[in-house]
Chain A
């Protein structure tokens, strides 16, 4: 069943061939709690796939099922063409994973931690182990701290070491559960750079995160979970454009502007300092020029006028709701 490591023409977004991850009706129940509920997820090969969802929505549980750590209550999960958890021995050497933060042996040095994780992989060549460990350390910027006991690592250093463990071999799929947790801004930038460079080598990256900016910057595809269910999946562009953009007008005459815009069917108007924003009416596209002309006719002094493209955050909030409380 095993083919070469990567496709012949690796480039980001190349959706050729079978999906890297494909789940059908994937469900996990913990007692009475339905953690993941009938998930149908498709991760195209070569994508950088953002996996979004509020706290407790079932992201980590899904990732654990994909990695064969827990057995689905029902449904199937296929990773690199093989069903999990049956295919773990053949699939996982080609997958690097960071699951719910790093876990390390505090009494071992950073380097020895990696040596141990590499020794656990029966397909890893012992003769190249030291070199590969050195390279992985270098790649996450930990070379100078490699001899330090992991117990003495800071949160960000631990996170980097966990990432290094995922990079010990060339991987077809990299699964990263909140990889930038605890990293400093430079660290976050470097992770983004790393993800992009891995993707350009042909590695499919499956990235769960709460940082929507980050997802928007690096991902080609997204899926959004809430309460164990998949709300949507598709390309980043599709998701953002599915949420209508907002009209934004900058003017000192905010009260008058609100009145005029309301007359023209603009909803959900909000005023912040000298900015008025609102949702454009549904249906046939309203001619923006007409709106602007109406404002000017009403002697509203318009300083700036335009629409803001919906951000991923708008789309996310539109899908999952504003509420702050974690779903029980």
Chain B
């Protein structure tokens, strides 16, 4: 700062005295890029991804121990898709098993943490006011935050899928895939279906992400927003279990989550999958608008 005196005075700034060049004046991806890198550089984000990566490892080892290397059939267990019995025959089924195991709680909980903290955390630490006077623009900032949360949805799903594929390939044989409908497809096509399923699972999280973002605009405490979002998730998951509430259940965001198994039929049953995606879009629209309405009129007093 000692050099601040006189001589240096005019030089601070960029060689762009006029309003910045037109190309840079458009909405620009700078903020989104900064948002993504900032989120993924946080120790907490990496820890969440680490936990998600560990789930397939645990399932894989458990299955391996239980079957003792014997290719026997574990018996088709009740309600959920019975992928687990197939894992010993084909490691690819560990991908489906792991996604089915993490989708009800682990994945949405991780999304709830990231989405809940996105606005509230910055409001609490005060960095939000400096982003807004930069000026990031409230709509632009909210969109960047939502897009980053979505990026995290995909990253989290991918981490589970890739970890499961690696563990599956390591512990079990890989090969042709027998679909739920009984038909057999090659391993290559099986891999493609796994990719499609991962995409559908990631998109299934769009609704929670929007809900978390909305909650995040309501408070200046990141922890409170995370806890509220996760609490809501658990409540809704419980409500989805009561038969007495069957009238409202089709409107609960997790209701069609496990329908991704329908992608393993031949021909694919699209009905429930599309309903799921439609419901997620509805949640994204409703809570996204609510978040926008709240955030663009909110007094930033911290």
Contact = CB atoms under 8 A, between A and B. Distances in A.
B27 to A, nearest CB: 6
**Which of B14, B31, B33 has the most chain A CB within a 10 Å cutoff?**
B14
B34 A193 contact: no
B129 interface: yes
Interface residues of A, number: 59
B12 A69 contact: no
Nearest to B139: A89
Contacts of A167: 12
Contact of B18 (A5, A128, A131): A5
Contacts of B65: none
Contact of A71 (B13, B25, B299): B299
Given A115-B34, A128-B16, A197 B4 contact: yes
B141 to A, nearest CB: 7
Nearest to B23: A125
Contacts of A148: none
A201 interface: yes
Interface in B178-214: none
Contacts, number: 156
Interface stretch (A135-143, A218-226, A262-270): A135-143
B246 interface: no
Contacts of A261: none
A108 B38 contact: yes
Contact of A122 (B9, B27, B43, B301): B27
A119 interface: yes
B14 A132 contact: yes
A292 to B, nearest CB: 44
Contact of B134 (A2, A92, A141): A92
Given A108-B41, A128-B15, A139-B12, A121 B4 contact: no
Interface in A110-162: 115-126, 128, 131-132, 135-136, 138-141, 160, 162
B4 A194 contact: yes
B115 to A, nearest CB: 18
Contacts of B20: 93, 123-125
A116 B38 contact: yes
A101 B130 CA distance: 11
Contacts of A140: 1
Contact of A200 (B9, B21, B41, B43): B9
A170 B133 contact: no
B299 A194 contact: no
Interface residues of B, number: 51
A180 interface: no
B137 A89 contact: yes
B13 to A, nearest CB: 4
Interface in A167-193: 167, 169-170, 187, 190-191, 193
Nearest to B42: A107
B129 A69 contact: yes
A289 B116 CA distance: 75
Contact of A194 (B1, B31, B43, B131): B1
A240 interface: no
A92 B11 CA distance: 21
A197 B9 contact: yes
B224 interface: no
A64 interface: yes
Contacts of A119: 30-31, 33-34
Contact of B127 (A67, A104, A131): A104
Given A139-B1, A190-B1, A120 B131 contact: yes
Interface in B201-246: none
A262 to B, nearest CB: 51
Interface in B86-132: 125-127, 129-132
A260 interface: no
Contacts of B297: 71
B128 to A, nearest CB: 8
A62 to B, nearest CB: 13
Contact of A69 (B11, B21, B132): B132
List 3 A-B pairs, minimum CB-CB distance, nearest first. Answer: A103-B126, A141-B1, A120-B134
Interface of B: 1-6, 8-21, 24-28, 30-31, 33-34, 38, 41-43, 125-127, 129-137, 140-141, 297, 299-301
Interface of A: 2, 4-5, 64, 67-71, 88-89, 92-93, 95, 97, 99-101, 103-105, 107-108, 115-126, 128, 131-132, 135-136, 138-141, 160, 162, 165, 167, 169-170, 187, 190-191, 193-194, 197-198, 200-201
26 contacts: A5-B17, A5-B18, A64-B300, A67-B129, A68-B132, A69-B132, A69-B133, A93-B135, A103-B127, A105-B127, A107-B42, A116-B38, A118-B134, A120-B141, A121-B136, A122-B24, A122-B26, A122-B135, A123-B20, A124-B24, A126-B24, A138-B3, A141-B1, A190-B4, A194-B4, A197-B9
